[in-house]
Amino acid sequence: MNPAIAADRSRPEALLPAERPRVVSALRLLAITGYAAAVQLTAGIAVLALGRWPVLGWVVLIAWLAFLVHAATSRHLLAGLPWWQAALVALGWQAPALVFGMWNLAAFLGWVRPLDIGCFVLQLWHAVVVPLIDCCPRREWRGVGLYLWLWSAGPLLLAVAQMLLRRPR
User: Whole-angstrom Cα distance, residue 61 to residue 59?
Assistant: 5
DSSP 2: -
29, 56, 87, 115: which one contacts other proteins (CB under 8 A)? 115
Q: DSSP string covering 55-82, please?
A: HHHHHHHHHHHHHHHHHHH-TTTGGGS-
Binding residue count for other proteins, defined by CB under 8 A: 34
Q: Are 123 and 48 in contact (CB under 8 A)?
A: no
Residue type for position 32:
I
Q: Are 44 and 96 in contact (CB under 8 A)?
A: no
140, 141, 161, 168: which one contacts other proteins (CB under 8 A)? 140
- Is 104 a binding residue for other proteins by CB under 8 A? The answer is yes
- Is 167 a binding residue for other proteins by CB under 8 A? The answer is no
E strands present in the chain: 140-141, 144-145
- For other proteins, give the closer residue by CB, 72 or 122: 122
Radius of gyration of the chain from Cα atoms? 20
- For other proteins, give the closer residue by CB, 3 or 128: 128
- For other proteins, give the closer residue by CB, 80 or 145: 145
| Residues from 145 through 164 that contact other proteins (CB under 8 A) | 145, 147-148
- Residues in contact with other proteins by CB under 8 A are 30-31, 34-35, 37-38, 48-49, 51-52, 54, 57, 104, 107, 114-120, 123-124, 127, 130-131, 133-134, 138, 140, 144-145, 147-148
